[in-house]
Copies of this chain bind each other. A is one copy, B any other.
Amino acid sequence: MKTIGIIALGLVTLVVGVSTVATAERPIDQGSPVYGVTLPKEYRDWKLISVAQENGKNNDIRAILGNDMAVKAYRAGRRPFPDGAIIVRLAWHYQSSPRNDAVFPAPQSFVAGEPTNVQVSVKDSKRYAATGGWGYGQFENGIPNPDPAVVQACFACHVKLEKLEKGADFVFTGYSK
């Protein structure tokens, strides 16, 4: 009985371990709730669209990258974005750098700390027709955030922009030369 108990404990540990990796209820390859958006494999190698910084609750500094289709559309000034365009927003804690400030003439340097999350916007005008042609996902440590409210908040915010500025195709970021 003791041996069986130990094996059972081992199995429980194994199952809990595996399900933690897959965020308990949601396998990684299913992507984000609502939209099923997955994290593109090579996104960290993609070209830079622009940078930004958010105060308040986010308190982050960010880079916006795009796949070739998105970057090509940006550079050509094409709106709406073509199906297949993907925009990825990476964010890190916004933090002052005492290391850099020790060298600079005055305290002035802010850098990227630990990553917070990665947000992915995928253009597919048919699949995501109900949300302006865009599907959304948010990833922490490469794992999709399983909370539907998180990705629903994406569109809730982007649709406000669309109401203010029709030609933007629901996209906040502009291309920085």
Contacts and interface: CB of A to CB of B under 8 A. Distances in A.
Contacts of A47: 44-45
Interface residues of A, number: 44
Interface string A92-115: 101001011011111011111001
Interface stretch (A8-16, A30-38, A50-58, A129-137): A50-58
Nearest to A110: B53
A52 B103 contact: no
B112 A161 contact: no
B115 A177 contact: yes
A98 B63 CA distance: 19
Contact of A62 (B51, B56, B103, B105): B51
A113 to B, nearest CB: 9
Contact of A157 (B104, B111, B165): B104
Contacts of A104: 56, 157
Given A157-B104, A176-B92, A176-B112, A61 B52 contact: yes
Contact of A111 (B52, B56, B99): B52
Given A51-B112, A53-B94, 16 more contacts: A44-B47, A48-B65, A50-B112, A52-B97, A53-B53, A53-B111, A55-B110, A56-B104, A92-B176, A100-B161, A100-B172, A103-B160, A103-B164, A111-B174, A112-B176, A115-B177
Interface of A: 44-45, 47-48, 50-58, 61-63, 65, 90, 92, 94, 97, 99-100, 102-106, 108-112, 115, 157, 160-161, 164-165, 172-174, 176-177
